[in-house]
């Protein structure tokens, strides 16, 4: 298995019974800012399934934060989106 594939697999989490990636991890893979990724998705939202993206609750975010260190420069008040 390639190192890149292992890296991507380590960025996939299960939330609400769905396998998801955090917006800032996905943005990092595409080498863009998180806000740019989220803006692009919102501008083209009709191209995606209704449940493509959702925002984590504070409890979900806190639970995930306790499992790993978020290195993003995201403001503490912003809850991550997952795709």
User: β-pairing, 54-55 with 81-82?
Assistant: antiparallel
State residue 39 phi and psi, 5-degree precision: -65, -40
How confident is the model at residue 68, as a pLDDT? Answer: 59
The per-residue pLDDT for 34 is 92
Distance separating alpha carbons of residues 64 and 24, to the nearest angstrom: 13
> For 12-40, how does the pLDDT look when each residue is reduced to its tens digit (9 = 90+)?
999 999 899 999 999 999 999 999 999 99
pLDDT tens figures, 43-77: 999 998 888 889 999 999 888 776 655 544 454 55
At residue 67, the pLDDT reads 63
Cα–Cα distances in angstroms (integers) from residue 54 to residues 7, 17, 79, in the given order? 23, 13, 10
Residue scoring higher pLDDT (39 or 81): 39
- b/e sequence 58-67, b meaning 16+ C-beta within 10 Å: eebbeebeee
When comparing pLDDT for 83 and 20, which is higher? 20
């Amino acid at each position: 298995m390639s190192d890149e594939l292992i890296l991507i697999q380590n960025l996939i989490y299960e939330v609400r019974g769905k396998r998801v990636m955090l917006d800032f991890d996905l943005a990092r893979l595409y080498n863009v800012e998180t806000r740019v990724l989220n803006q692009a998705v919102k501008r083209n939202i009709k191209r995606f399934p209704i449940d493509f993206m959702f925002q984590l609750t504070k409890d979900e975010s806190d639970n995930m934060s306790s499992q790993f260190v978020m290195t993003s420069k995201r403001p503490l008040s912003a809850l991550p989106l997952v795709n």
